[in-house]
Amino acid sequence: MTAERSSSSLPAQAGPAGPGGPTTPYRMTVTTTLPHADALALADQCLAAWLKQEWREEPPPPEPAAPGPGAPLAERFRLGERVLLDRDGGPLDGPPPGGRYDRRRVRTPAPHGTDRLTLTVATGPTGPTWLRLEAATQPAGSGVRTPGRVPVPEVVRALLPLLDASDGPAAVPAAPRVLTAAGVDRLVDELCDPDRRMPTVVASVPAGLGTGQWLADVVGPLCDQLPGLAGLYVLDPDARTRFNVALEYHAVYGGAVRTYLPEVDPASRWDGRRHPVLARNRIEEDPRRAAALLSREPRRLAAERPLPPVLAGVPALRVPRPAPAPGSAPATSAPAHGREERERAAHPGRHEGRREHHRERPKPKALPTGAATGRATGPGQPRVSIGRLCAAPGGAGTATAPIAPVRRTGRRRAGAPGGRGGVPLTFTELMARLGEFPLLTFTGDQKAALALDELRCAGGGWARLTWDGLTALQEYAEAAVRGRAGGDFKQWCERTPAGCHRFPPRKAVRGESRTVHSHAKWKRERMLPVPECVDASRRAFMGAHLRIGGGRTAPRLHYLDDCSGSGRIYVGYIGLHLTNTRTN
């Protein structure tokens, strides 16, 4: 086992990164009343026990962090072949001062690639201790099939009871617990509390069946993928009666299981429709599918929920470059590391430590057209990523350096002339320069976009507005993959951060109308190409769109925001308005 240690300053702006591959990641964010040191000790204990059991080598105990602000300690341990443990800790970024964090990241081999587990403990000057655990899978290649979702890590099941973890007022248990009538009032208060961030899953027991038997045979296996993602309760018969009287519009009974989303309004009949019910017959028909359905919403909420301020202040992980042994080549020249850096270059938003091998970067540099994007190879030659591609192919022509945040040549002052390096005035030029947006992938047919040049009824206005939209989408994606966008793209447009390109909020549309969704032909037009890592069918509904023009022709740009999944935005269509009730 070897270790490398550094005390260099970490980047100030990046927080925990997004998922590392197409498999749906696992994310848990909880609090504990334990002091920071105690919570970290328990986390290290559970992590060490898991590593020793799985890989037969336990990491050494952590050493005290380097004193003083701005000098966090970072160290790397090799616990076996393809088994790496990174540890770092130090002060949190940003005001107010006085907070600190400690983080552990473990990379282990998997049959389909590499598993990555990141555990972060953070505490502000005041308030509780926060703990966040993320587990993701990085596939070995673009054609490798991986499991649909990352299972709940065993570390979570061991750690939750020790931490006495909570989500605001609600406990976050490792397994469902039976609730009697005496505990109903507290449960109702938890469901209605505005500080609850996680969903709460409440199961009922069918008449004539024992609570213990139903819990062991049905509810336990059904909730196996929910620890750390939701509160879990089973109502005994007396508790069910009292619960349904208190929440008449949100009742659960007959062996059904109901998921209560945050902010329950017990007096609203309409609000009752927000909280999905999984009926007993669906559970018993296909228990495995029912378990997947039940975990879908909690996983989605965990992926979309913004980081609390304390965790948002955690800087990016940067570990030292391994020192070469005397007379040997540097470890960073090994083929495995080369693959990792090519993946970094292709997917900058997925990698938490994308600057970890560069000690000093005075300022970000613009990415050359075609570098590390897997799309544009030169002027007038856009390469479209479709089918199985979710990463740029590694090869001699692929950039291998970690990518800094990109500032494109297309961002010029208002009124700047068009042409190469400025804002394009034609869609022919625009399509040729898509490589300037490294987190956007065009998957559609270029003909629809190029045909807009033939209309010429709006001069260069349509191309200019499309370029503005792509620029804003790129800047949004750069923030979203770090968990700092503060919402979806429309919300980004409504509250565009200072220094970023503003796109008119009224031209950013979240989705299509109910009429379009219910019309088979119109919906099919909006089922646009995506890589297999996004959807196995290689098609996804792209209802979100940008209004490029109005009137009879009304161009549109349709896209899929997958920043919380694959770390990219997929643009599936640029062209005239697709069919709806208003098109002529």
Q: Under DSSP, is residue 160 helix (H, G, I), strand (E, B) or coil? A: helix
Pairing outcome for strands 231-235 and 177-179 = parallel
Instruction: Inform me whether the pLDDT recorded for 332 exceeds 60.
Output: no
Span 466-520, pLDDT tens digits: 999 999 999 999 998 888 888 889 999 998 998 898 898 888 988 877 777 778 8
Q: Does position 400 have pLDDT exceeding 90, yes or no?
A: no
Closest to 85 measured CA to CA, from 93, 76, 94: 76
Q: Any idea which residue has 């804002």 for tokens?
A: 423
Res 304 pLDDT > 80: yes
Q: What tokens appear for 408 in the block?
A: 């494109």
In the beta sheet, which residues pair with residue 78?
Answer: 84
3-state secondary structure (DSSP) of residue 233: strand
pLDDT at 389 (0 to 100): 33
pLDDT tens-digit profile of 411-465? 433 333 334 468 898 999 999 999 999 999 999 999 999 988 887 555 568 888 9
Strand arrangement of the beta sheet that strand 113-123 belongs to: 3-6, 73-80, 83-91, 100-110, 113-123, 129-139, 26-32, 166-167, 170-171
Cα angle 177, 180, 184; round to 5: 95
- Per-residue pLDDT tens digits for 229-254: 999 999 999 999 999 999 989 999 99
C-alpha to C-alpha distance for 566 and 436, rounded to whole angstroms: 19
User: Does residue 125 contact residue 17 with C-beta atoms inside 8 Å?
Assistant: no
On the question of pLDDT at 8 being above 80, the answer is no
Q: How far is CA 138 from CA 205, 493, 530, in A?
A: 40, 31, 19
Of 352, 363, 350, 365, nearest to 318 by C-alpha is 352
Determine the Cα–Cα distance for residues 347 and 20; give it in Å rounded to an integer. 9
Average pLDDT, the chain: 76
What is the residue type of 524? R
Residue 54: pLDDT band with limits 50, 70, 90: confident
Going by C-alpha positions, the residue among 150, 148, 153, 146 that lies closest to residue 111 is: 146
Question: pTM of the prediction?
Answer: 0.53
Helix axes 36-55 and 154-163, enclosed angle (nearest 10): 150
